[in-house]
Structure 1
Amino acid sequence: MEFLQCNAPAPVVDTEAGKVQGYCTDEGISVYKGIPYVANPFTPERRFQSPQPMQPWQGIKVTVSDWPVPQPGRSPAQRLVGRAGDLTLNIWRPGNAEGKLPVMVWLPGGAWIREDATESVYDGSVFAKKGVMVVTVNYRVGVDGFMHFAQRPDNRGIADQIAALKWVQHNIANFGGDPDRVTLFGQSAGAGSVAIILGNPETKGLYQQAIIQSPPMQWLSPAEATRITRQFSDNLGIPADPEAVAKVSFDDLVQNVLKVGEQIKDATQWGRLSLGGTAFLPVADSKIIVRSPMEDLVMNDSNRVPVIVGSTDSEYRLYLMPGSELQKITDKDLRAVINELSLPTGAFQAYIKNSISAENPGDVYAQIMSDYTFRMPALYIAQIMSRNQNTWFYHFSWRSPAYNGLLGAAHFVDVPFTFGTLHTKEAENFVGINPPQSLSDSMNDAWVGFAKYGNPGWPKYSDKDKKTMFFDTKSYLGTLGDQQITTLWENFRF
């Protein structure tokens, strides 16, 4: 549901840097869009540096609109979207709330090269109507967020997210939120970010629980990241240093981000990096990421908070649509990706047996890549975290009718159900025109229950019984199957 602005503005609220005033919707939700939390990181003196505190302003800043950071558009007609400026976040809260509200902080995804905290599908109004405050965060991506330079800090986009969490701790009480009841959640690169933050002991106390939706756990070594930077710079004919890159226009930068993403698909030159889907990934910098995102998650004892983690059944189908790639894949491609991933003998036969359609190599390929990119990382996170903390595991199994039913339970299809934004124009591309409202209600209620009471409403996961919530038209509690498949990944290093 898209909400209209009403005539009355939302209350003026004090933040550490100054006063802000948003607007209220016709359903009584107070909305603040575009609150600065970090000083503009695109200026010459701050470019490619760690986030810096926001400078105070005078008077009341009107916060009724927002924009993402510079990034590629999603169509050739939009070469560049977003703009440089202060980093911002957005807040939805019930206008008549009393007492301290639980807070959910959302990190949007976008393959580390895109993010937009004000996309209509991330509207927090449904959460707010149920008594939960939602904060959505913009952060640096692509070149500014994740390109590796030897003399600059890595993982600047993650550092931005951590700065936003600190902002929440210092300011959210003024909006009626409880800084001691913060649930950090995200999807795709946002979920990978949540996992990285959970693995970093210095973030202890910035949140009390987390939700990880379809986490990609790929990462780069400094040597791999250096190679990406060199390729990026060679494309532009400039030195591979921050001063030279900073002189390039944002339009050319983001177009080159896409170009490098295509170049690394050549497996003969880039090996397993060709399977990552993007050239810009978090870097093991020995600071924010000490070993790898997954290993840090295993080793860190300080952030043992309650966690929900899960994935969709057919994640990778999103990337094989709508360009008909699904129909172009051959058995040769299947064997090549299995070889690249060094999966054990018998993997080809196991995936043929367990695929949606063994007759179509594209369906089998989609399942292998779904497991590599999202599903097995989610399962592994559930396994390791359930041994030390309350953990709930889920699968999103509803098959979308989009693209003549070929999209299925793909990546991102679960997000509009999570937020209750099924009927936004953006969501219709993924869920069709008549998605089941009851499924959205059950998912959103589960997330609200977790934020409010620390329990989504189904039994915790354990290695012993593997209890899993399957979200579908008729959701049900089941046991994770495909043991033959999961065994193939037991020794894989994510």
Structure 2
Amino acid sequence: MSAVPPPISPVHEESLLVGTAHGQVRGTWERDVAVFRGIPYAAAPVGARRFRAPEPPEPWEGVRDALAFGPTAPKRPYSPPLDRLLPDPEVDGDDWLNLNVWTPSPAAAGLPVLVWIHGGSLLHGSSSVPLYDGTAFARDGVVLVSVNYRLGIEGFGVFPDAPANRGLLDQLAALTWVRDNIAAFGGDPDLVTVCGESAGAISIAALLAAPRAAGLFRRAVLQSGAPNALPPDTARRTTELIAKRLGVPATAAALAAVDPEALLAAQTEVTAGGSPLTGGNSFQIVVDGDLLPRDPLAALLDGAASEVDLLMGSNSEEYRLWFVPSGLTERLSRTGLRLALLKFGVPRATARTYRANRPGATPGELLGALATDLLLRVPLNRVADARVGAPGSTRLYEFGWPSPVLGLGACHALEIGFVFDALDRPDAVALAGRDAPQELADAMHTAWVRFAATGDPGWPVWDASRPVMGFGPGAPALVHAPRDDELGGWAPYRKTH
């Protein structure tokens, strides 16, 4: 197994030019790292291309400046109070389908590549979020690529007259661009790791199950997102509610004629009030019979992408990002908890186990712990179990360092600043405070660099002993079968645990 590549000392050319398949781009040196921003990987999805699958960008003559982040897909900021915790920059323009590259030097060769797919419930986010700065990865010998893709109804609305999963097709087009162009930036197209958090991880799970994505990446990292997709008839409901609110048919042709701001306003109204844990109207990846022939969880359990190395995990208290700022941890009553347990189909014995392991927990905290495991830890463990002995390795982690900010604890998205070694970024400080442990960021970032470079982040592969690397609350430590008494209470595990 090869060693992690050492940091590269770049030669600072006066003009930083790189040739791509569509034309030359000019980047810039920042903190001894070469950075290229806003490179189009597909044509602007507007006009006649709206609601279509992505198409190649038009080649350009001369040199295109790649000095600033490209336009972001149409979206609205997170609703209060999450808007204070999750900055979501907007960049005007139509060329939403763009990406950014951080590299030690375009003169390098054969470097591992990490492609970052952002989260945001398929409604929010972009590659221009400050926390996703790829400097630390490039400093440590990894080419970091971050990607924009279509969001909301533009990317995931379900229509009878347009292809489904357009945002996922965008991600596929970006990975194809990486395969065809990344060598010019010093990367190895055969050493690509795709990495994402939340909706980004859910997208990657779908790509793992998509035959068309085979061969575009060698490794994958799923942070706080598990395989999930809906049949078209179910996924279509959000699109139909938006069309009804606007008084038009639920077709791509009809909605393309609606004023974009009115469409975005209707989308925001229809999807307001829900969360990934509590539900509500949302956009989801669709089992469309084309890009995604079958449910991605079922496909992975049956051996899809068994040759791909996987690193998967979640945070100990994912739910606190949604429950704490909204007051649900304190507001939920025992009656509300009972109704929620019925809705989720949680066995009584399972609920008793969680309650016994958390003396003093409020009903909201118990519901959050149960929902977190149902939606994340249970399916990720099932995928890991199914891959024991597969050609590709499987490793699991859990992030457990508790943020002191607002009592958020080890909440959703908190680990990103540690993975990117960017604890000084304002958006990392917003979630983690100013005294987050740098040594934990060092350990976590190093593990991700090692995984991208070698496939081994530094702990054993998943087997019957169920090893999980815990990042916090103290020093990183390997734990075997953590909280397996809780995991064994869920239906998929009752016969075997």
- State TM-score, norm by structure 2: 0.90
**1:32 equivalent among 36, 55, 61:** 36
Given candidates 206, 209, 220, the residue that maps to 2:216 is 206
Whether 1:384 aligns to 2:386 is yes
Q: Distance in 2 between matches of 1:324 and 1:142?
A: 27
Which residue of 1 is the match for residue 450 of structure 2? 449
Q: Does 2:178 match 1:171?
A: no
CA distance change for structure 1 residues 263 and 423 in 2, over 3 Å: closer, same or farther?
closer
Aligned twin of 2:20: 15
The CA deviation at 1:212 is 0.9
The one-letter amino acid of 1:376's match is: V
> Does the CA contact (< 8 Å) of 1:470 and 1:478 recur in 2?
yes
Matches within 5 A, 1:194-343: 194-262=204-272, 275-276=278-279, 279-343=282-346
State the distance in 1 between where 2:93 and 2:292 align.
Answer: 27
Does structure 1 retain, via aligned residues, the 8 Å contact 2:88–2:129? Answer: no
C-alpha offsets along residues 29-52 of structure 1, whole Å, 9 cap, x if unaligned? 0000100000011x2211111111
**For the residues of structure 1 that align with 2:388 and 2:374, how far apart are their CA atoms?**
21
Deviations 1:352-411 (A, max 9, x none): 1123x54411111111121123222222222223341311111001111111xx200011
Look up the equivalent residue of 2:461 and give its one-letter code.
K
Aligned to 1:92: 102
Check conservation: 2:23, 2:63, Cα contact below 8 A: yes
Unaligned runs of 5+ in 2: 1-11
**Between 29-38 and 231-240, the greater mean CA deviation after superposition:** 231-240
**Cα displacement (A) at 1:332:** 1.7
Query: Structure 2 counterpart of 1:72, which letter?
Result: R
Change in Cα spacing, 1:488 to 1:248, as seen in structure 2 (3 Å) is farther
User: How far apart are 1:423 and its partner, in Å?
Assistant: 0.8
Work out whether residues 169 and 179 of structure 1, in 8 Å CA contact, stay in contact via their aligned partners in 2: yes
Question: How has the CA–CA distance of structure 1 residues 363 and 414 changed in structure 2, closer, same or farther, with 3 Å as cutoff?
Answer: same
Moved more, 144-153 or 66-75: 66-75
Alignment of structure 1 residues 133-212 onto 2, 5 Å? 133-212=143-222
Give the conservation status (yes or no) of the 8 Å contact 1:127–1:419.
yes
User: Which whole-Å deviations, capped at 9, do the CAs of 1:434-464 have from their partners, x for residues lacking one?
Assistant: 10000000001011111112210111111x1
Report if the CA contact (8 A) 1:71-1:80 is conserved.
Answer: no
Matches within 5 A, 1:322-471: 322-355=325-358, 357-388=359-390, 389-403=392-406, 406-462=407-463, 464-471=464-471
Contact 2:89 2:126 in 1 (8 A): no
Secondary structure, aligned partner of 2:37: strand
How much does 1:151 deviate?
Answer: 1.8
**Count of matched residue pairs:** 473
RMSD: 2.2
- Give the aligned residue type for 2:23: G
User: Which residue of 70, 75, 78 maps to 1:74?
Assistant: 78
Distance change >3 Å, CA 453–CA 359, structure 1 → 2: closer
Percent of pairs identical after alignment? Answer: 35
CA contact (8 A) 2:277 2:371 kept: no
Cα pair 1:210 1:308 within 8 Å, conserved: yes
CA separation of 1:80/1:391 partners in 2, compared to 1, >3 Å: closer, same or farther?
closer
CA distance in 2, matches of 1:352, 1:418: 32
The answer on whether the counterparts of 1:184 and 1:211 sit within 8 Å (CA) in structure 2 is yes
Are the aligned partners of 2:122 and 2:199 in contact in 1 as well (CA < 8 Å)?
A: yes
Q: Is the 8 A contact 2:396 2:467 kept in 1?
A: yes
Instruction: Return closer, same or farther for 1:429/1:61 CA change in 2, 3 Å cut-off.
Output: same
Q: Does the 8 Å contact 1:10/1:24 carry over to 2?
A: no
Q: Would the aligned equivalents of 2:109 and 2:183 in 1 still touch at CA under 8 Å?
A: no
Deviates more, 1:407-416 or 1:287-296: 287-296
8 Å contact 1:51–1:163 — kept in the other structure?
A: yes
The letter of the residue matching 1:191 is A
222-231 or 187-196, larger mean C-alpha shift: 222-231
Query: What letter matches 1:92 in structure 2?
Result: W
**Structure 1 contact 335–348 (Cα < 8 Å) conserved:** no
SS in 1 for 2:409: coil
Deviates more, 1:375-384 or 1:447-456: 375-384
How far did residue 295 of structure 1 move? Answer: 1.0
Q: How far apart are the structure 2 equivalents of 1:8 and 1:22?
A: 11
User: TM-score, normalized by length of structure 1?
Assistant: 0.91
- The verdict on how the C-alpha distance between 1:189 and 1:10 changes in structure 2, with shifts beyond 3 A counting, is farther
**What is the CA-CA distance between 1:64 and the residue it aligns to?**
1.1
Separation in 2, partners of 1:174, 1:53: 18
Identify the residue that residue 5 of structure 2 maps to in structure 1: none
Taking a change above 3 Å as real, the CA distance of residues 352 and 225 of structure 1, as seen in their structure-2 partners, is same
Say whether the 8 Å CA contact 1:199–1:298 is kept in structure 2: no
Read off the aligned partner of 1:11 and give its amino acid letter: L
Structure-2 separation of matches of 1:386 and 1:254? 44
Secondary structure in 2 matching 1:182: strand
Q: 1:452 to 1:410 in 2, by over 3 A?
A: same
Distance 1:447 1:297 in 2: 22
Quote the offset at 1:75 in angstroms.
4.8
Q: Which amino acid aligns with 1:467?
A: P
- 1:136-185 C-alpha deviation (Å, 9 max, x unpaired): 01001100110100121111111100110100010011111110110111
Tell me: CA distance 1:237–1:222, structure 2 relative to 1, closer, same or farther (3 Å).
same
Residue-by-residue CA offset, 1:338-364 (whole Å, 9 max, x unaligned): 211222232331221123x54411111
Q: Distance in 2 between matches of 1:117 and 1:8?
A: 26
Alignment gaps of 5+ in structure 1:
1-6, 266-272
Mean Cα deviation higher: 132-141 or 287-296 = 287-296
